[in-house]
Structure 1
Amino acid sequence: MASSGNRRAAAGAASTPHAIAAPAIPAPPRVGEQIQRLRAERRMTLEDLSRAAGVSKSMLSEIERDKANPTIAVAWRLTNALGVSLDSLFAPQKTPEAIAVAGPHEIPTLSGHDAKYQLRVWGPIELAGKFEWYELTLQSGGALVSNAHEPGTREHLTVLQGSIEIEAAGTTRRLKAADTARYVADEPHAIRNAGKGEAKALLVVIHG
């Protein structure tokens, strides 16, 4: 027979209500990532969007990296410049496919006709502004001249064909096929065809 002490303990345990688990709070939307994706889809640079929205380039860079949250007024200006509604920043992202295949016609190509270059954008849009890679083709006399990227950005270029000249940080180096150059890209820099025939290279940009 159970003692009175044991009976009281059992009764107390039976009367204790079960703890109710707090509802899971979903993670807030990554607004900066959405802005960066929308900008990349429109092939706009940070400077392009900064100018169109009237938002400083440094602030826009902080927002895209989710290091700063935009006010409603800033978000409104950005979405207007991107040509989308404000609620598109909070739209859920699609679940990525296990294996996504892009055909040749789906690879964006940027052409600088006067500068005699062509950039094929091999990197996915969602990595734009973070980690990008391109196939760069330079015609004879062609050059890809760039303004400074974000602080800490570096570029890595491997020559696949021809001869290429890199100008960065006040230094110029000439490369031949299979050479790789790694250089600072947070100040003005240039990639030029140093030969008489067509030149090709793999260009990787790692943003700061």
Structure 2
Amino acid sequence: MKELLSDVNQRIAGRVGQLRSAQGLSLDVLARKSGVSRSMISLVERGESSPTAVVLEKLAAGLSVTLASLFDPPATSPSGPIARRADQPEWQDPASAYVRRNVSPPGVPQPMQIVEVHFPPGQRVAFETGGRDVRVHQQVWMLEGAMDITLGTERYRLRGGDCLAMQLGGPTLFHNPTRKPARYAVVIASEPALKR
């Protein structure tokens, strides 16, 4: 897993740098937009850091993309309409040890992505999801176990088979309150935000 983690960190490094460059953002500007320090962004882009899910979500928000898109290969990599299981990148959050796998084929021009998550017992991850230039919708479909998901001040308990629809835009807390691992799928769709 350590070798695979290194490969995924290099992929994240390339994607963050590529997206920042494509948007013409300096390290300082991305730091202001994301709330992630300039030095941490630099470490991430050089592949010298194993950023947490919280840091990656902040970078994704600052770049106006979904967290899942940070795991895509560089835009120059050829891809097709099938993502074989062996080619689906897995990443483990160094803070909570949850494992996420991007299931969707990368580079396919569709507004949705699918991610599978294995969440350890007793762990939690709190995202301070802020505004983006795109609206991000998610549906969390519980496959095994149970999760508490808190959106702002509303808490939802999900058990096997339950599905929660949500829109990112505020604080979100994922917590497995049980002694058993949880497994769920997340379907993510994005659309341009309305200009104010």
Normalised TM-score (structure 1): 0.53
Number of the residue aligned with 1:190? 173
Percent identity, aligned pairs only, is: 16
Which of 88, 94, 107 lines up with 1:126 in the alignment? 107
Matched, 1:180 2:155: no
* Amino acid of the structure 2 residue aligned with 1:141: G
CA contact (8 A) 1:40 1:128 kept: no
> Quick one: which amino acid aligns to residue 139 of structure 2?
H
More strand by share: 2
Greater relative contact order structure (CA < 8 Å, 6+ sep): 2
Q: Would the alpha carbon gap of residues 138 and 46 (structure 1) be closer, same or farther in structure 2, given more than 3 Å must change?
A: farther
Which amino acid in structure 2 is aligned with residue 44 of structure 1? Answer: V
Offset at 1:45? Answer: 9.4
Give, in whole Å, the separation in 2 of the partners of 1:132 and 1:41. Answer: 20
Aligned twin of 1:163 = 146
Residue of structure 2 aligned with 1:54, choices 29, 32, 40: 29
**Partner residue of 1:206?**
189
- Work out the CA distance in 2 between the residues paired with 1:170 and 1:189: 9
Is this contact kept in 2: 1:157–1:180, CA < 8 A? yes
Q: Secondary structure at the match of 2:107?
A: helix
Which of 142, 148, 159 is the matching residue for 2:123?
Answer: 142
Residue pair 1:174, 1:194 contacting (<8 A) in 2 also: no
Letter aligned with residue 149 of structure 2: I
Greater C-alpha radius of gyration: 1
Deviations 1:138-187 (A, max 9, x none): 00112233232635322100000001111113211101100000112122
Q: Match for residue 109 of structure 1? A: 90
Shift of the 128–51 alpha-carbon distance from structure 1 to 2, 3 Å rule, reads: farther
State the one-letter code of the partner of 2:161: A
Q: In the aligned structure 1, how far is the partner of 2:173 from the partner of 2:102?
A: 18
Q: CA deviation at 1:116?
A: 2.5
How far apart, CA to CA, are the structure 1 residues paired with 2:92 and 2:138?
Answer: 19
Gaps of 5+ in 1: 1-38, 65-83
Count of paired positions: 140
RMSD, aligned α-carbons:
3.8
